[in-house]
Structure 1
Amino acid sequence: MSTGTRQAPPPLLARLLPEDVVCRECTHDPEGVVLHPDEEALIARSVEARRREFTTGRYCAHRALEDLGRPAAAVLPDVKGSPRWPAAVVGSITHCAGYRAAAVALSARVRSVGIDATPGEPLPEGVLEAVALPVEQRRVRAHLERWPEVRWDRVLFSAKESVYKTWYPLRRGPLGFEEADVTFHRSADPASGGFTARILPPVRGLGFPQELTGRWLAHDGLVLTAIALRPGD
């Protein structure tokens, strides 16, 4: 009988991202986490729920940076709230009820990363219409009718969040929900697959990708999506 320490399972996001993207995740908020003083100052007056999600998200980011071989430096937001990573590092942070995670990579290998997690529940009334193009709404409803075991409205919402998080660092500008047309692809596993986001309208002559491709996963009450954009993409 083995007496070795039982290894923790790999992060769920590791199923969605290439090996050179380092992921850390938490399904609870660890006690005793010490933030960088500049990070702590950001949430000094925040309500408890916000403190917990921010603190655990930064805890995941610090651990992921260490796994990448980089110091666990402060990860502060820019004016739009997007994390500012150390030089030569790209990354993304996500949090929702019962889940927090961070993913980081060296910019020489990965141009941009976007991750998102959300509860695998129906979207509140009116949200699908607010975030989805008419053609996407039709696709979602058709998918829900054909494969009701997956909350396709949530998968779409999450995919658009991952698209935004991947796009924003490239251009340092926002991308509206209506500026990406997302289509989904299922794999042999009915609870996972891929997606493609076509940028609308195409951004010409600026070196920006016209399409982003990612992966999605529905697991244990969560929906997760992730994109890793390579330098040559």
Structure 2
Amino acid sequence: MEEAELGAAAVDRRRREFTTARWCARRALAAAGAPDPTGPLRRGRRGEPLWPAGFTGSITHSADYRAAVAAPARRGGVLGIDAERAVPLRPAVVAAIASGEELAHLAALPAVAGLPWETLLFSVKEAVYKAWNPLTADPLTFRSVRVAFLPGTDPGPGVPGGRGGSTGHLTAAPAGPAPEAGPALPVLSGRYRAACGLLVCVVHSRPSA
């Protein structure tokens, strides 16, 4: 099924998001050295993009922002990207996505204009889900991962969206029981940027030896 068919049931706005996000994915694949980055990206059973053999990647798209990352899939490495508007979450949503340990961690972080930490936590967990999803058949929830931030460190060029704004690094580790099927989920490192009313984060694993 080609991309136009995949998006036929969506409203025009969502279809435009879908199409331009796939364009970003092809650009990312070309930069990563894929031999045929122009072919259609099909979708898996959970709606995830199916990357060409030998490559891994991730896509994010919304009304305001589209981006993709891709890299050679060396020894099990995975990627995830997500972008969200930099607006605070409702308290009920925060309570649903964050553990007590994470809430204490967020409370200890410095206040930064334009960076609602709870929303960044949500965004990181979305990116982690995209990275981990191909590795396990078990359902993943917001409580499946524990996130910690290291603010004020320049993440360099690895986060789409240019330079500037508030930046930093992060770690994301599995929380709770190990998956019943598939390999153990890897600890992920990542980077984030808050700028121009957006929060963008990228997570990645270290390839196994």
TM-score (norm 2): 0.83
Q: Does 1:139 pair with 2:105?
A: yes
Which residue of 2 is the match for residue 104 of structure 1? Answer: 70
Q: Which stretch shifts more, 60-69 or 199-208? A: 199-208
Partners of 2:10 and 2:153 in 1: how far apart?
44
Partners of 2:136 and 2:64 in 1: how far apart?
31
Query: Residue 191 of structure 2 is aligned with which of 194, 208, 215?
Result: 215
Percent identical among aligned pairs is: 38
Which residue of 2 is the match for residue 228 of structure 1? Answer: 204
Quickly say closer, same or farther: Cα 1:105–1:188, change in 2 above 3 A.
Answer: closer
Q: Does 1:178 pair with 2:135?
A: no
> Which ranges of structure 2 fall in alignment gaps of 5 or more residues?
155-164
Quickly say closer, same or farther: Cα 1:130–1:204, change in 2 above 3 A.
Answer: closer
Query: Residue 168 of structure 2 is aligned with which of 193, 206, 216?
Result: 193
The aligned amino acid for 1:191 is S
Which residue of 1 is the match for residue 160 of structure 2? Answer: none
Q: Secondary structure, in 3 states, of the residue corresponding to 2:8?
A: coil
Q: Secondary structure, in 3 states, of the residue corresponding to 2:2?
A: helix
Which residue of 1 is the match for residue 158 of structure 2? Answer: none
Q: Count the aligned residue pairs.
A: 195
The aligned amino acid for 1:222 is L
Partners of 2:50 and 2:86 in 1: how far apart?
29
TM-score (norm 1): 0.75
Q: Say whether the 8 Å CA contact 1:110–1:228 is kept in structure 2.
A: no
The aligned amino acid for 1:111 is G
Q: Secondary structure, in 3 states, of the residue corresponding to 1:101?
A: strand
State the shift of 1:95 in Å. Answer: 1.1
Residue-by-residue CA offset, 1:181-219 (whole Å, 9 max, x unaligned) = 111111345811111112112538964345222111111
Partners of 2:75 and 2:168 in 1: how far apart?
23
Mark the structure with the bigger radius of gyration: 1
Q: Say whether the 8 Å CA contact 1:97–1:119 is kept in structure 2.
A: no
Q: Say whether the 8 Å CA contact 2:186–2:205 is kept in structure 1.
A: no
Q: Say whether the 8 Å CA contact 2:76–2:208 is kept in structure 1.
A: no
Which residue of 1 is the match for residue 178 of structure 2? Answer: 203
Alignment of 1:6-85 (within 5 A): 38-67=2-31, 68-71=33-36, 72-85=38-51
The aligned amino acid for 1:54 is F
